[in-house]
Amino acid sequence: MPDANIRLPEEAKDRLAAIAAAEGLSLRAYLARLAETLLTPAERAERAEKARAALKEWNGYAPSAAQQHDLDAELDRRLAQVTGQ
């Protein structure tokens, strides 16, 4: 497999390298594993749609777009509260 060169700030590289080392991985191996485990926006949307369909089939839960927006906003608010952002 050919390697690719990327440019990123030194601080980001150092942080990623430290995280990788703490997990017993090289930076290259860590980034390869990260790329394999993260979802693309399309994959996330597909999973969300499958979850909505499963909830609707299981218990009839089918929020409107406005309700989904309100729920997302509430989740964002709560996450910001616990992360201090």
- Per the CB < 8 A criterion, the answer to whether 25 and 31 are in contact is no
Q: Are 71 and 63 in contact (CB under 8 A)?
A: yes
CA 78 to chain centroid, in Å, comes to 17
pLDDT digits (tens, 9 = 90+) for 40-75: 999 999 999 999 999 999 999 999 999 999 999 999
Of the CA atoms within 13 Å of residue 23, those in its CB half-sphere come to 14
- Supply the mean pLDDT for the chain: 93
The CA R_g of the chain, rounded to the nearest whole Å, is 19
